[in-house]
Each structure stands twice: as C-alpha cells, then as structure tokens.
C-alpha cells in the first residue's frame, strides 16, 4: 500500500494518534489531495525531520512552518512497512521509485510501462532529442541497449506525460522549466530503479505470449 495521506488507513491511523490536533490531516480542495499538517502528502519518510522533531521545526521561517493551534510531533513515521513474499516465475521485475512517480502513475500503469519497454524497447524510448538529453544528464548509467534503461525511460516519460501540466502544455514545456520552485510547482522529483528478476528477453517473450 502507499504510505500517503490519500490512503484511508494511513490517514485514519494518524488522526487517531493525534486526537487533539484538528489539522493533523487536511484536504486541499485546490489540489484535490490530502496532506499531513497541510504540508506533506507522505506519511512515512526517511527525512522530513521538521514533522518529526520540534527542534527541526521551530528554526524554519514562519512561511515554511506548518501552521495551526497545535503542533505535537511526530506526524511522519520513520518506521518502514516490511512485507516478505516468495518469488515465482510470474514475478518479472521490481520497480523502486519516489512518490513523484506514483503521483502520476498507478501501480498497473507503471507495470504496463515496464512490460511495454520489454516488448518494444525502441518504441518505449524517450521520443524527443531534448527529452533524451535531459534524461541522460539526469544520471542514467546503464548501457544504451539495456532493458533497465529502456524501462526507466518509459516510466519517467509516461509519468511526465500523465502530469496535468504536460497534458496541457506538452512534455517539452515541462522539461524546459527551471529546476527548483518552478519545476516543483509542477511535479515532485521522480527517481526510478527497475530491477529485473528474470532475463529481459524471457520477460519480453512472456509478454508477447
């Protein structure tokens, strides 16, 4: 499950843990999303110390500090949810990604992107030269013909295409936005790792079958 305030189980657990805090979880009508202290969507994180400890919250500028009559951290948990399962021949790959990807793609959308990259790597590659250059500059280290690179590009590209700004103005416009606040106002950072659990060629054959 997603560790996000949009998940009713995560939201309810946080609300119950803060019975005297009326704005522990809020709904933003403009963005159509749930937020922890009207600031963060994720409910579990490695960082975001300002929502875990007051000593990191109080020094922040007033316009960056979560507001409200009550502030009783922690609001964001550092405890991971651990699940174990036995892999079988039906398990083909694993996608590890930041919430920027999952903001744009559902689990099934992401899985289909990777399957398509395995079946048709050339068609799944980034479609414009400037976009490809941007992705190369972002730090991809896999070989040019590797399945991991094609799958990663497919996920990044599909996430950017699904973004509301890109749907309206085009992906090229999104990629031209300056890093920092202008870009963060449009989408969260998108970091992706694809782990093949089976040979890519075998995966492609299974998808075609």
Please give the Cα distance from 10 to 69 (Å, whole number). 22
Kindly indicate the confidence band of residue 145, based on its pLDDT and cuts at 50, 70 and 90.
very low
pLDDT digits (tens, 9 = 90+) for 12-43: 999 999 988 888 999 988 778 899 998 888 89
pLDDT digits (tens, 9 = 90+) for 156-199: 888 888 888 888 887 777 777 777 777 777 777 888 888 888 87
Please give the Cα distance from 117 to 47 (Å, whole number). 32
Rounded percentage of the chain residues whose pLDDT exceeds 90:
11
Name the token pair of 51. 């929502």
Name the token pair of 127. 């479609």
pLDDT of residue 129: 47
Which is more confident, 165 or 110? 110
| Burial of 123 per CB tally in 10 Å (0-12, 13-18, 19+) | exposed
* Chain position carrying tokens 């202008």: 182
Cβ contact 102:2 at 8 Å = yes
Please give the Cα distance from 146 to 136 (Å, whole number). 14
Cβ contact 36:24 at 8 Å = yes
| pLDDT at 128 exceeding the cut of 50 | no
């Amino acid at each position: 499950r997603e560790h996000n305030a949009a998940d009713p189980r995560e939201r309810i657990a946080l609300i119950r843990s803060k019975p005297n805090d009326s704005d522990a979880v809020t709904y933003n009508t403009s963005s159509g999303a749930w937020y922890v202290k009207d600031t963060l969507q994720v409910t579990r994180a490695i960082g975001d110390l300002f929502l875990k400890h007051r000593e990191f919250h109080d020094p922040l500028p007033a316009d960056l500090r979560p507001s409200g009559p009550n502030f009783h951290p922690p609001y964001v948990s550092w405890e991971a949810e651990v699940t174990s399962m036995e892999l079988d021949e039906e398990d083909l790959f694993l996608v590890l990604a930041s919430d920027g990807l999952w903001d744009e793609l559902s689990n099934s959308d992401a899985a289909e992107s990777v399957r398509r990259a395995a079946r048709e790597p050339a068609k799944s590659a980034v479609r414009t030269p400037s976009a490809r250059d941007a992705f190369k500059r972002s730090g991809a280290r896999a070989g040019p013909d590797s399945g991991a690179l094609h799958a990663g590009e497919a996920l990044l590209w599909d996430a950017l295409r699904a973004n509301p700004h890109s749907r309206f103005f085009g992906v090229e416009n999104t990629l031209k936005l300056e890093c920092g606040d202008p870009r963060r106002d449009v989408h969260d950072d998108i970091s992706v790792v694809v782990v093949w659990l089976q040979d890519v060629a075998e995966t492609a054959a299974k998808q075609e079958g």
